[in-house]
Structure 1
Amino acid sequence: MRRSWVWALSLIAGLLISGCTGSSGQNTPHFATTHNDGGTAYYGQFEDSLPEDPNYFPVAVWHESVMDAQAVATDRSFGINTYVELTPDSVPQLARDAGSYVLSSTPKPGINGFVLPDEVDMWGKSGEGIWTGAWPGEAPICEPEGSRCGYTVLEESLHKAPAGTMVYANFGKGVTFWGDREIGTHFTSEYADVVSADNYWFTDPNICDKTEGGTRFDQPRDLTETECRLAANYGHTVEQIRGYIEPAGSKPVWGFVELGRPFSDETLPTPTPEQIRAAVWQSLIAGARGIVYFNHSFSGDCASQHVLRDCAPERSAAIAATNEQIQRLAPVLNSVTVSEVLTTADGVNGLVKAHDGHFYVLAGSAQAAPQSAAFSLQCTGSGEIEVLDENRMLSMNEGQFTDEFSDGNAIHLYKVPISNCDPGH
């Protein structure tokens, strides 16, 4: 019996090393695939959680109010299918009745997940001190005053989560800029089942400083405006959070993008629809498994708690178009990720998905300057490839093709037939 096991293992190892063997007896090259963070059926392990339907991809708004069915219908017309946090007077069942999903810090019938206090890493900070129960601006947070109790805040808040419910937490600069890797890992790994971090690269007046965005360098320095106000930085935030989580890839990370002005600084403009789309797709390219929009604006021409509903209809329509594209490509985004088949220039970020006999190459500019970027894609041949939603085709020669990226907001999505390769084992 032992000899049979040894033989079988040796045979399997030989096949894995030599490649997949096709029906013709010839070795067929194969490409390596990995599941999205959390693996398959992640949400299904929780009570009344988000759906496992491959056609569902979370596109959410943060801290919205749902008081009537019309509000939900309006949000759904913009492509919003999920709410992350609701005002206390909201009625979650209204969202559920319309086919949307709700994560909330207020346990009520109809919620699909529990939300922990926001940005505890910034106001509670890293530590297990005594929490006074106070919130920012009310009174001293920790006891003794000035100590650190953020871990305690999260631990005590978890007691309010209904049993078996998925838990969500959003973090801020304490994780992404001010803390070390140990702190980042503790916050993102210990308390919640889905995590995110909100760094507003387009609108934060302080984020370019060496004490914030500039901490990415071994020797921190101020970022130039060109380096800082770049859509690719939203992907950097997602990558940073994904890199902190232990075990690696064990839970989904969602991206966070602002729709208006989260700050009262009038010197910074409102993000354009082009910037918002680029930030969203850079987050997805970096591995985000959901998108959350900060839907509030505290300055500018339209100060509102409901940017999509209240401000510039043509702008909201453009954002809705981005969300429609995400939902249409949900089966692709939910499919396996392919590694080691794409080579491209340093000035482009890329992700490859495999779905229904095609590679989907998601590519976004990593620099503000225009560029002509060359791509090399294994397991493909020659012919024309489709550039999705741009009404154009590109010529590919033995897996090689080139495309133009006009600026830092340039995003291109390519659909390429797979040839002469099988999925990896």
Structure 2
Amino acid sequence: MTPRRAWYVLAAALAAVLSFVTFLVLYEDSGSGEPSAAPVSLPLVPWEGGPRYYARFPAMAAAGWTDPSFFPIGVWYEAVTSQADVDLDKGAGLNTYFELTTSSKIELVRDNGMFAVPSHQPPGYGRETVGWLLTDEVDLWAHEGDAPWTGNSPGQGQICIPESALCGYTVLRTLRERLPPDDGRARYANFGFGMEFFIPEPLAARFLDYTDVASMDTYWYTDEGMCELSKTPAAVCRTAASYGFTVDRIRHLDGLDGKRQPIYAFVEVGFPFEKFDTEIAPAELAGAVMNSLIHEARGVIYFNHNFGSPCVSQHVLRDACGARIRPAVTEVNRRITELAPVLNTQSISHTFLPGMDTMLKAHGDAYYVFAMPGRGLAPGRHTLTLPPGMAAERAEVLWENRALPAGDGRITDDFPAEHSYRVYRIPR
């Protein structure tokens, strides 16, 4: 065999290997038990593994969190003291309590097939407790540092030693070490806008070294100081797309070390500030949740407290204070639950339209395209260009009893408001 002939044989062999590797990447197990097939050779969006991630925590796996039909939908800091409490929460489409009052009856959570991620160890806790909450917004009250911690929380006195020091990492490390070791439960924390805007990236990312699941709360619709704080024009700031921006920020920080964990969305349901008289509207809430999912949120947590407004409440989704917002929460949760097997697959990367927030999934016999205006994109009529290999005559618009032509590789639709979203099902 001549050298040139040998080179061609080697090149062909390498090409075959590369083709096979590409096949494996594009048809990677999606976590749903089905391959996630990308049209042509589109890359896949980085992720932590979907439901398979929870398999590393025996308590979560035993509770069914590895089931592709399960998607975490939770409420922040609730009291569960009666069956009526649970009935109302399940009726709204919730399945997990992220923090519980000490007055809560953990057996009610367990007996109703609900789950808990509390900061304390409730007497008699068991299979319903799938994780532990370390703390809330430590980046804002203890900040980025390894100084000694007094053990105090905000309002209890000096936090760090000395008083001018920073000790947020110490707080997380100490709280994590206090928990039962190797108990098969995930460690979760929620963070604030310190990590989002002010703390340098390498230091902000360190907070996530202590968590297995994380979230970040920034109330773009109701915090009247957020636009100035983030130095963002109001037309861009006070939008559903800003909630996706928050998810992007913490996902970026989480991925800096090459290791990933599930990031959950955090959305308010009413008036979360005593000093501001601004309420989130039902359509805004639905848009904020959906935009967070488009930006790869793996769960949703609702802030269920009104500290301001004429209707102060710690149980907005249960009482009269939530009469306006509860139907929107219930409906968007129903849609999330319906789409859980789709959401629990790895996304395919494709730009349908610059400035549009989109997500592409493949599940079963269809592709799913999620779309809504991104930050700075005006509402109106927009055209999405499908990737090669997705040609189909029609695209079904979920929950709207209509379909759109897609035979030319494009979908044109109306997005009348900044919070408008569409989910299209395209046969494959």
Q: TM-score, normalised by structure 2?
A: 0.87
What is the total number of aligned residue pairs between the two structures?
Answer: 395
Compute the displacement of 1:185 (Å): 0.8
Task: Within 5 Å, give how 1:89-108 maps onto structure 2.
Answer: 89-108=103-122
Q: 2:352 maps to which residue?
A: 343
Task: Within 5 Å, give how 1:109-128 maps onto structure 2.
Answer: 109-110=125-126, 111-128=129-146
Amino acid at match of 2:378: A
- Could you tell me which of 216, 222, 227 is aligned with 1:203? 222
Is 1:55 matched with 2:69?
A: yes
Task: Within 5 Å, give how 1:9-48 maps onto structure 2.
Answer: 11-15=16-20, 29-34=40-45, 36-48=47-59
Secondary structure, aligned partner of 1:85: strand
Distance 1:225 1:32 in 2: 34
Distance 1:64 1:19 in 2: 44
Compute the displacement of 1:392 (Å): 1.3
Closer, same or farther in 2 for the Cα pair 1:100/1:186, shift >3 Å?
same
Task: Within 5 Å, give how 1:179-258 maps onto structure 2.
Answer: 179-188=199-208, 190-209=209-228, 212-214=229-231, 223-245=232-254, 246-248=256-258, 250-258=260-268
Compute the displacement of 1:159 (Å): 1.6
Compute the displacement of 1:259 (Å): 0.4
Secondary structure, aligned partner of 1:117: strand
Q: 1:25 maps to which residue?
A: none
Distance 2:104 2:424 in 1: 41
Q: 1:358 maps to which residue?
A: 366
Amino acid at match of 1:68: S
Secondary structure, aligned partner of 2:368: strand
Distance 2:238 2:15 in 1: 53
Distance 2:132 2:276 in 1: 34
Task: Within 5 Å, give how 1:234-313 maps onto structure 2.
Answer: 234-245=243-254, 246-248=256-258, 250-268=260-278, 270-310=279-319, 311-313=321-323
Amino acid at match of 1:13: L
Secondary structure, aligned partner of 1:243: helix
Root-mean-square deviation over aligned CA pairs: 2.4
Asked whether the equivalents of residues 242 and 248 of structure 1 are also in contact (C-alpha less than 8 Å), the reply is: no
CA displacement, residues 124-180 of structure 1 (integer Å, 9 cap, x when unaligned)? 011111111111111110111121111111111012222232100110022111101
Q: 1:174 maps to which residue?
A: 194
Distance 1:352 1:17 in 2: 19
Closer, same or farther in 2 for the Cα pair 1:241/1:17, shift >3 Å?
closer
Secondary structure, aligned partner of 1:62: strand
Asked whether the equivalents of residues 360 and 416 of structure 1 are also in contact (C-alpha less than 8 Å), the reply is: yes
Asked whether the equivalents of residues 50 and 344 of structure 2 are also in contact (C-alpha less than 8 Å), the reply is: no
Task: Within 5 Å, give how 1:347-386 maps onto structure 2.
Answer: 348-366=356-374, 367=376, 369-378=378-387, 379-386=389-396
CA displacement, residues 34-80 of structure 1 (integer Å, 9 cap, x when unaligned)? 57424551112113125111111011000111112221111000000
Q: 1:139 maps to which residue?
A: 157
Closer, same or farther in 2 for the Cα pair 1:14/1:170, shift >3 Å?
closer
Over the matched positions of the two proteins, sequence identity in percent amounts to 37
Secondary structure, aligned partner of 1:288: coil
Q: 2:337 maps to which residue?
A: 327
Distance 2:413 2:364 in 1: 24
Compute the displacement of 1:417 (Å): 1.5
Q: 2:98 maps to which residue?
A: 84
Compute the displacement of 1:15 (Å): 4.8
Asked whether the equivalents of residues 35 and 335 of structure 1 are also in contact (C-alpha less than 8 Å), the reply is: no
Gaps of 5+ in 1: 21-27, 215-222, 419-425
Asked whether the equivalents of residues 69 and 95 of structure 1 are also in contact (C-alpha less than 8 Å), the reply is: no
Compute the displacement of 1:224 (Å): 2.6
Closer, same or farther in 2 for the Cα pair 1:197/1:312, shift >3 Å?
closer
Closer, same or farther in 2 for the Cα pair 1:16/1:132, shift >3 Å?
closer
Distance 2:135 2:154 in 1: 11
Per mean C-alpha deviation after superposition, the further-off stretch among 77-86 and 374-383 is 374-383
Closer, same or farther in 2 for the Cα pair 1:9/1:144, shift >3 Å?
same
Secondary structure, aligned partner of 1:308: coil
Secondary structure, aligned partner of 1:271: coil
Secondary structure, aligned partner of 2:136: coil
Closer, same or farther in 2 for the Cα pair 1:141/1:8, shift >3 Å?
same
Closer, same or farther in 2 for the Cα pair 1:406/1:133, shift >3 Å?
same
Is 1:71 matched with 2:85?
A: yes
Is 1:149 matched with 2:170?
A: no
Asked whether the equivalents of residues 277 and 309 of structure 2 are also in contact (C-alpha less than 8 Å), the reply is: no
Amino acid at match of 1:278: G
Secondary structure, aligned partner of 2:244: helix
CA displacement, residues 228-247 of structure 1 (integer Å, 9 cap, x when unaligned)? 21110000000000000143
Distance 2:324 2:277 in 1: 23
Closer, same or farther in 2 for the Cα pair 1:413/1:130, shift >3 Å?
same
Compute the displacement of 1:339 (Å): 1.7
CA displacement, residues 385-404 of structure 1 (integer Å, 9 cap, x when unaligned)? 10100111111123212111
Distance 1:19 1:98 in 2: 41
Asked whether the equivalents of residues 224 and 276 of structure 2 are also in contact (C-alpha less than 8 Å), the reply is: no
Q: 1:421 maps to which residue?
A: none
Q: 1:158 maps to which residue?
A: 176
- Structure with the larger strand share: 1
Asked whether the equivalents of residues 33 and 337 of structure 1 are also in contact (C-alpha less than 8 Å), the reply is: yes
Distance 1:8 1:89 in 2: 66
Closer, same or farther in 2 for the Cα pair 1:399/1:87, shift >3 Å?
same
Amino acid at match of 2:309: G
CA displacement, residues 93-137 of structure 1 (integer Å, 9 cap, x when unaligned)? 311211111101112313110001111110001111111111111
Amino acid at match of 1:77: G
Amino acid at match of 2:204: G
Closer, same or farther in 2 for the Cα pair 1:92/1:236, shift >3 Å?
same
Q: 2:36 maps to which residue?
A: none
Asked whether the equivalents of residues 230 and 408 of structure 1 are also in contact (C-alpha less than 8 Å), the reply is: yes
Asked whether the equivalents of residues 220 and 243 of structure 2 are also in contact (C-alpha less than 8 Å), the reply is: yes
Asked whether the equivalents of residues 277 and 319 of structure 1 are also in contact (C-alpha less than 8 Å), the reply is: yes
- Could you tell me which of 395, 398, 405 is aligned with 2:415? 405
Asked whether the equivalents of residues 19 and 30 of structure 1 are also in contact (C-alpha less than 8 Å), the reply is: no
